[in-house]
Amino acid sequence: MNKADKIKAEDRIKKLRIEIARLRNLYHIKNAPDITDEVYDSLTRELKDILKKYPEFNNISSPENRVAGKPLDKFKKVKHEHRMLSLNDVFNEEELYDWEKRIQKLVPPSPFRRGVEGEVYFCEIKFDGLAVSLIYENGIFVRGATRGDGFVGEDITENLKMIESIPLYLTSSPAKGRVGEGSYLEIPARLEVRGEVLMQKSIFEKLNKSQEKKGLPPYANTRNVAAGSLRQLDPQLVKERHLDFFAYDMYSQINFKEHSAEHEYLRNLGFNVEKTEAVCHNLKEVINFIKKFEKIRAKFPFGTDGIVVSVNDLKLQEILGVVGKAPRYMVAYKYPAEKATTIVKDIKINVGRTGVLTPLAIFEPTLVAGSTVSKATLHNMDQIERLDLRIGDTVVIEKAGDVIPKVVEVLVKMRTGKEKKFKMPPTCPTCGGKIEKKIKNPPKTPPDLPLSGEEKFGSPPDKGDLGGLSSSVASFCINKKCPAKNERYLEHFVKVFEIYELGPKILRRFKDEGLITDAADIFTLTKEDIAPLERFGEKSAENIIKEISDKKHVSLARFLWALGVLHVGEETARDLATHFGSLDKLLDKRYNKSPKSDLWLAEVDSIENIGPTVLKSLQDFFSDKNNIFFIEKLKNNGVIVKNAEVQKKGKFINMNFVLTGTLATMSREKAKEKILSLGGRVVGSVSKNTSYLVAGDDPGSKFNSAVKLGIKILNEEDFIRLV
Ligand code: IVH
């Protein structure tokens, strides 16, 4: 190679780099590319070719190795315009038919209600990835966000721009198919596209091979890698992961009649929309679709965990509405979980933040449904007895669509006689404290809805820290100073406050070093406390302190959730926050012995979804002086609790509404929203303080109570007129 050639090459590389950087910047930051992709690709190809010949000019921080979109310090929070919901699951044909029966009853007289066949259902693949929301303004991708808690997600726009299959610009082109063959597509001023970010199975396998070569542990599954990648602050890392995006839903001003038309529209706009989908005339066809896909599922390039079945007609969808966190008009049919066998090496006890003792089976690591499993919760002693599980047993473990594995069967025939029975320890295994038996998962106020099987099918239970199980009796460590409990509580607290820098290991270290004794101490930490610790240093100390200080402002709902009141999870905390509006109002009447305490109890009791067990738990918590001191300490240490938005104006101010029965033209959630937006409250039970009972079809016992107490009763028409 002669020197002149080399110099020429170096010059060319420089030029190419400058131009590629400019184009990237136009494309990613300014959203205004002035050349076509082909030109860009061709320049990049040329650069790569020259670099192959002259590898000495390779430079990791050169533009072809980096992306535009600077690494961020953290993600911004964004409020979703439409709540991001979850789906209720069905596991077999019978449950699918039950769902149909239930929803047919909820719609006004119509062919669907009568079960007349037509293009009634829509089937599509349920991807096992991460839900994201993409906002387009006049066809330009302006914001992408994670699901978060469904209400508020994180702004990951820069990361999403690194996914090739997310169009940055939408252009109008002649449409194909039912959207209107030949006509130009309408690009609305504002369009929200929902879909799933995924990693192809083959890319995942390559990634794990390269991990292995580097002597690094393999990733568990495609979903985890995709999730981990989207959490990276440097978009370059996302680009390297070659993620994909599939669109499945949208919100805009365009009036489509069917969900299937929305799919076609999205496809026409250039989104990836999976072609394995079908409009079905009845559930038989739906079941055929489910069975057909099951056969090819293993070979499908992406991870899937079922089929999403929805009512195709968008008007019917609206009428059916949402209950709890999930729509009524859509269900996820989940394929049978994968099973594997393994040996139980030990049963350990895990002490949770509420003090609950949970037995945990420790296995020989085994591969199930694509990931390695080495432990599973056994929930409680009842479960161990039901399974007749002993240490040393060979068991069948199952991993459903979700990620939590469970023991489903003991292979008694595999016993050698050396297996050992397990007994719950008489005292807390961490602190030796006293153990008491209590209810683990209280039922919520029974929904006064004439929907059969609603409890099982409807909104998932508010998990608190207890994992969403049906209620059962469990052992609790009642020592307030139990270190395991305190540690779990600290972990819960920082998770809810979103102080990501403080992982479990760091928290334990700070405790051991005496820097913190409780969660409130976190807010008095200084850089000087942390920097001198071994393995920390200035920079990480600074990051920790900055994040803690950034998270001092917290919503009332989050604050209440963080307090860790037994049975008070995210949803209940939110209900309390919207009811009281401010911490002061909530604390004002709390004391047990004060004359106001009865008022407080009655008020909390009136909140929809709060049942007697939660009420008792709230009472216990707020009448314990230590807890009040803790709240004061948090405030003194700089935590600022933001008031919840409570409507102060509106014609329903100071009015309490109770809902019963089924409304034909709107969902319960919609009715509730309307009342709240006019300043009213929706409470769970009828009392003399009830202003109106809104009664739909098949009202429950609340109707009789209202009649007895002489409360005004509104039928649906009256209600609609009133709002
Ligand atoms: S529709 C109502 N369609 O499933 C919310 N979701 O369990 C469902 N998902 O968070 C939106 N594939 O991440 C829909 N074809 C599909 C889907 C799908 C996967 C995920 C989505 C959602 C979760 C709910």
Site to probe by mutation for ligand 1, drawn from 248, 267, 322, 334 as the one with most ligand atoms within 8 Å of Cβ, is 248
For residues 500 and 497, give the distance between their C-alpha atoms in angstroms, rounded to a whole number.
9
Assess whether pLDDT exceeds 60 at residue 458.
no
Token pair recorded at residue 58: 């390779």
Who contacts 367 (Cβ-Cβ below 8 Å, separation ≥6)?
340, 373
Of 32-46, 73-87, 309-323, which gets the smallest average pLDDT?
32-46
Who contacts 168 (Cβ-Cβ below 8 Å, separation ≥6)?
27, 28, 31, 140, 141, 161
Model confidence at 17, in pLDDT bands (50, 70, 90)? Answer: confident
Query: Is residue 127 lining ligand 1, measured as CB closer than 6 Å?
Result: yes
Model confidence at 325, in pLDDT bands (50, 70, 90)? Answer: confident
Residue minimizing CA distance to atom 23 of ligand 1? 86
Query: Is 37 marked as a binding-site residue?
Result: yes
Alpha helical stretches, state H, 551-699: 556-562, 570-580, 583-588, 597-605, 612-622, 625-636, 668-677
Distance from the alpha carbon of residue 330 to the mean position of ligand 1, in angstroms:
10
Q: Which residue has the tokens 């202003």?
A: 691
Residue pair 210/219 in contact (Cβ under 8 Å)? The answer is no
For residues 446 and 700, give the distance between their C-alpha atoms in angstroms, rounded to a whole number.
11
* pLDDT at residue 295, as a whole number: 87
Across 541-564, average pLDDT? 95
Alpha carbon 195 to chain centroid, angstroms: 14
For residues 342 and 396, give the distance between their C-alpha atoms in angstroms, rounded to a whole number.
7
Across 215-230, average pLDDT? 83
Length of the chain as a residue count: 723
Of 76-90, 207-221, 267-281, 612-626, which gets the smallest average pLDDT?
207-221
Model confidence at 454, in pLDDT bands (50, 70, 90)? Answer: very low
Of 40-49, 239-248, 332-341, 565-574, which gets the smallest average pLDDT?
40-49
**Is 3 among the catalytic positions?**
no
Assess whether pLDDT exceeds 60 at residue 68.
no
Assess whether pLDDT exceeds 90 at residue 289.
yes
Closest atom of ligand 1 relative to the 327 alpha carbon: 2
Model confidence at 461, in pLDDT bands (50, 70, 90)? Answer: very low
For 293-303, b/e burial (b = at least 16 CB within 10 A) is beeeeeeeebb
Assess whether pLDDT exceeds 90 at residue 317.
yes
Q: What is the 3-state secondary structure (H, E, C) of 98-132?
A: HHHHHHHHHCCCCHHHHCCCCCCEEEEEEECCEEE
pLDDT tens figures, 610-655 = 888 899 999 999 988 899 999 999 999 999 999 987 666 788 888 8
| Residue type at 607 in one-letter notation | I
pLDDT tens figures, 136-177 = 999 999 999 999 888 999 999 999 999 989 999 887 777 776
End-to-end CA distance of the chain: 83
More confident call, 246 vs 590: 246
Model confidence at 33, in pLDDT bands (50, 70, 90)? Answer: very low
Average pLDDT, the chain: 85
* pLDDT at residue 390, as a whole number: 97
Residue minimizing CA distance to atom 16 of ligand 1? 126
Query: Is residue 262 lining ligand 1, measured as CB closer than 6 Å?
Result: no
Token pair recorded at residue 592: 């047990």
Query: Is 477 marked as a binding-site residue?
Result: yes
Query: Is residue 308 lining ligand 1, measured as CB closer than 6 Å?
Result: yes
Distance from the alpha carbon of residue 131 to the mean position of ligand 1, in angstroms:
7
pLDDT tens figures, 491-530 = 999 999 999 999 999 999 999 899 999 999 999 999 999 9
Residue pair 586/627 in contact (Cβ under 8 Å)? The answer is no
pLDDT tens figures, 168-207 = 988 777 777 666 655 668 899 999 999 999 999 999 989 9
pLDDT tens figures, 44-60 = 778 888 888 898 888 75
Of the candidates 126, 399, 485, 674, the residue annotated as catalytic is 126
Query: Is 428 marked as a binding-site residue?
Result: yes
Q: Which residue has the tokens 């349920």?
A: 126
How open is the CA angle 560-562-567, to the nearest 5 degrees?
75
Which residues are registered as beta bridge partners of 470?
A: none
Helix (H/G/I), strand (E/B), else coil: 412? helix
Token pair recorded at residue 29: 């930051």
Alpha carbon 610 to chain centroid, angstroms: 22
Domains of the chain, CATH where assigned: 3-65 (1.10.287.610), 88-334 (3.30.470.30), 337-473 (2.40.50.140), 483-640 (1.10.150.20), 656-722 (3.40.50.10190)
Model confidence at 25, in pLDDT bands (50, 70, 90)? Answer: low
Helix (H/G/I), strand (E/B), else coil: 249? strand
Q: What is the DSSP letter of 40?
A: H
Assess whether pLDDT exceeds 50 at residue 455.
no
Residue pair 311/317 in contact (Cβ under 8 Å)? The answer is yes
Residue pair 133/145 in contact (Cβ under 8 Å)? The answer is yes
- Count of Cβ atoms closer than 10 Å to residue 497 Cβ: 22
Query: Is 123 marked as a binding-site residue?
Result: no
* 304 phi, psi to nearest 5 deg: -135, 155
Model confidence at 414, in pLDDT bands (50, 70, 90)? Answer: confident
Alpha carbon 173 to chain centroid, angstroms: 35
pLDDT tens figures, 392-401 = 998 988 875 4
For residues 321 and 82, give the distance between their C-alpha atoms in angstroms, rounded to a whole number.
13
Distance from the alpha carbon of residue 632 to the mean position of ligand 1, in angstroms:
42
Query: Is 533 marked as a binding-site residue?
Result: no
Q: What is the DSSP letter of 177?
A: G
Which residues are registered as beta bridge partners of 144?
A: 134
Helix axes 483-496, 504-512, angle to 10 degrees: 130
Assess whether pLDDT exceeds 90 at residue 66.
no
| Residue type at 270 in one-letter notation | G
Assess whether pLDDT exceeds 80 at residue 696.
yes
For residues 504 and 487, give the distance between their C-alpha atoms in angstroms, rounded to a whole number.
8
